[in-house]
Structure 1
């Protein structure tokens, strides 16, 4: 298959693209910086510098849309909120317009979203049908998904990746937390009771490949079947690193440091991958401690 990818140099893309190449797919990577991307993938992929000069996607069999400004890297000022939205909405709209302008459109677009779609639902068990709280993360993801669904037709199916916390070696949340925990000063955040819906990078990649190959559409919670509370996660990470994990970060301090974006760590979703499991996808990593041992142990 000829597969067009946006956001391919991000955490998920860096693991997904090598797997696609192993499976003998042809990968076209949309990037603002082909020179930097080439350092990662060399000449194994084709590089497009943006989409402005494209008028259709007739030669593309599938689109995987992972582009977006990292959501947790900066405080949510109004300007940063706009960057978070536009970095997702604009390129998704470009892809939709190109798909709709194609005589032979891609058969599938797999487009990013996040379990932030649901907002902070506390103890509620969240599947793909759960009504959301109307918070910023919901507004961001809901509009993102709405734009992507504009390409849905009899010829093109749309899959939406409502992704949780992706656990991977050398990137994502583990890259930020592991140095702190190695120093012995890690621990729960706030009261530690909030749920963390996580997924091992291997399962994340395998689930995308599953959606690519199976006739499925709609939203999918990209999370392990077993979400954990924040205090359980802290204990498991400390255990994997053979370090104590009792230095609790008070909620007031976290709010002071992060502002509105503190909801990302003080809130949570008890999300389950109901639709993935119903479709027959088999997770490799169910147990958090085993997953962390594989990644950082």
Structure 2
């Protein structure tokens, strides 16, 4: 299968491409920095630096769109919000336009989104049918999804990845949490009552492959493990796995001073469950947080 992937050097992209190559797929990565991408992904991948010289995607069987500026790295100034939005919207619109212009378009367009689509939902159980709250993360993801869905037709199905917190050995949110926890300075954020919808990187990759290979599946999918936990439970379990204490609670006001509006990413949450994935027959490898954390931290 000929696959075009954006965001290939990111956490999910790296793991996904390794699996696709092991399955003998041909992978093309769209990236602005082909030198860096080649260092990360190797020589078995083909690289495109732009879409500007292309009028269609007739030679591509499937598109997987994972591109986007990291959302939690900087304060959400108006300029940063614009950058976060454009890094997702522009490439998605370009891909959708090329798919629609194709005589033989890709059979599937798998495009990124996030559980932030729902906004802060407190303790409510969240399936893909839940009504969102009108926060910035919803506005960001809703437009992102709308642009992807513009590529849908009787020849191209669109799957939307409403992704939670991806747990992996290197990178992602866990990489930022591990240093203080490893020296015994970890603890809950704010009240600790907010839910954290997590997913192991292996399940994330397997779920994308499942969507890729099942021609009847389309629409939004919560890419989260079946059992989300509260922040205080997550922190206690991480400390337990690392055999460290867990008492250094970070006050909400301190996070708001540090992160500004972006603090909603860690002080709010979604009790999101993968209703549509499980209904479609997908089987998770990692149901329990303890097992997932032991695996990614090497504490088996």
TM-score calculated relative to the size of structure 2: 0.98
Name the counterpart of 1:266. Answer: 267
Kindly state the Cα deviation for residue 166 of structure 1 after the two structures are TM-superposed: 0.4
Aligned match of 1:197: 197
- SS at 2:8 equivalent: coil
- Aligned partners of 1:42 and 1:66: how far apart in 2? 19
Alpha-carbon distance between aligned partners in 2 of 1:227 and 1:138, rounded to the nearest angstrom: 20
Count of residues in correspondence between the two structures = 297
Q: State the partner residue of 2:292.
A: 291
Aligned to 1:162: 162
CA distance in 2, matches of 1:237, 1:77: 32
Correspondences of 1:1-20 after superposition (within 5 Å): 1-20=1-20
Which secondary structure state, in structure 1, belongs to the residue aligned with residue 50 of structure 2? coil
- Gap regions ≥5 residues in structure 1: none
Could you list the structure 1 runs, at least 4 aligned residues long, displaced by more than 2 angstroms after superposition. none
CA distance, structure 1, for counterparts of residue 113 and residue 135 of structure 2: 15
Deviation for aligned residue 1:276: 0.1
In the alignment, the residues of structure 1 paired with residue 218 and residue 42 of structure 2 have an alpha-carbon distance, to the nearest angstrom, of 33
| Structure 2 CA distance for aligned equivalents of residues 50 and 182 of structure 1 | 41
Does residue 178 of structure 2 align to residue 181 of structure 1?
Answer: no
Once the two structures are TM-superposed, the CA of residue 91 in structure 1 deviates from its matched residue by 0.2
Cα distance between partner residues in 1 of 2:140 and 2:42: 33
The alpha carbon displacement at 1:245 in A equals 1.1
1:228 partnered with 2:226: no
Kindly provide the CA deviation profile for residues 49-100 of structure 1, in whole angstroms up to 9, marking residues without a partner as x: 0211111100000000000000000000000000000000000000001001
Cα distance in 2 for partners of 1:243, 1:51 equals: 49
Q: Which residue of 1 aligns with 2:250?
A: 249
* Partner of residue 41, structure 1: 41
Name the SS of the counterpart of 1:80 in structure 2: helix
TM-superposed CA distance for 1:240, in Å, is 1.2
TM-score relative to the length of structure 1: 0.99
**Cα deviation, residue 119, structure 1:** 0.2
Q: Deviations over 1:184-233 (max 9, x none)?
A: 11000001000000000000000000000002000000000000000000
CA distance in 1 between partners of 2:109 and 2:100 (Å):
12
Partner Cα separation in structure 2 for residue 286 and residue 234 of structure 1: 17
Measured on the aligned residues, the alpha-carbon RMSD in Å equals: 0.5
Question: 2: CA distance between counterparts of 1:16 and 1:246?
Answer: 36
Query: C-alpha offsets along residues 233-288 of structure 1, whole Å, 9 cap, x if unaligned?
Result: 00011111111111000001111100000000000000000000000000000000
